[in-house]
Amino acid sequence: MGQPQSKPRFPQPGDHIYCQRKGGLYDHHGIYVGDGMVIHLRGAAKKLGELPGCHKCGDKRVENGEIAKVCIDCFLDGGTLQIFDYGVPLLEFIARKRGTCCQRDSKPPHEVISTATDLLERNGFGPYDMLANNCEHFAVYCKTGSAASFQIEGHIATGPAGMLAGAAVVAAFGVSKGVSKTSSSW
C-alpha cells in the first residue's frame, strides 16, 4: 500500500522541493524559483567554503552567507527531486513521512519567490542550526510566513526511536546551540 505521495511532476516556480540525503537519514529542502534554479539554506558542511564550479549554474549562481541560489542539479546533488505538499488533509499528513507535507496553506508562488529572493539578498534568515533553523524551516517560512521543520518534529514525536535517530543525526553532523527565532529576528 505505501504512503500517499504527490504525483510526480516537474517543479513550478514557487514550489518547495526536497531530496533525501545520507541514504534517507534526512531531507534537504529549498524553493524552486524557476529557470532551473533553487534558493536554499545551506548546512554547516556546505557553508565552510564556496560551492564547486558548475557549468549549469554559471553566472546565475548567487551565494550570500548561508543562503545560496544554485541550479537544481547542484541542489539535488544526485538525489531524487520531490515536491513538498501544502494544504494536505489531516489523515494524509499523519500517514506521510514527516518533512514531506503539511496542513498549512501556501502563499501564492510570486510571494514565495519574493520572500526567498529577499532572504537571499539580505542573508536574512539567521545562522543555520539543524534543530532550530534548518533548510526546511527556511522553505516552510518562504511558503507560509511561519518557520517549521516537520522532519525534526517527527523525530521528536516518535519518542525513543525518533530521539535515537535525532541523536544519530547530531552525532553525524554536529549541532550548534539551538536558538528559537521569530520572523522578526530574520
The CATH number of the domain holding residue 96 is 3.90.1720.10
In a domain, 94, yes or no: yes
Q: Which residues contact 30 (CB under 8 A, 6 or more apart)?
A: 16, 17, 18, 38, 39, 40, 41, 75, 135, 138, 139
Catalytic-role residue among 71, 135, 142, 155:
135
Sheet harboring 82-83: ordered strands across?
62-64, 67-71, 37-41, 26-34, 16-21, 82-83
In a domain, 181, yes or no: no
Confidence category of residue 6, pLDDT binned at 50, 70, 90? low
Active site residue 40: yes
In a domain, 44, yes or no: yes
Catalytic-role residue among 40, 57, 71, 155:
40
Q: Is 85 left (phi over 0), alpha (psi -120 to 50) or beta?
A: beta
Measured distance between the N- and C-terminal CA atoms of the chain, rounded to whole angstroms = 42
Mean pLDDT of 128-146: 93
Q: Give this prediction's pTM.
A: 0.77
How buried is residue 95: exposed, middle or buried, by Cβ count under 10 Å (0-12/13-18/19+)?
middle
Q: What is the pLDDT of residues 138-149, one digit of tens each?
A: 999 999 999 999
Q: Is the pLDDT of residue 157 over 90?
A: no
* Average pLDDT across the chain, whole number: 79
Active site residue 135: yes
In a domain, 102, yes or no: yes
> 13-22, 81-90, 154-163: which range is least confident on average?
154-163
In a domain, 184, yes or no: no
User: What is the number of structural domains in the chain?
Assistant: 1
Catalytic-role residue among 16, 28, 29, 137:
28
In terms of residue numbers, what domain contains 102?
16-174
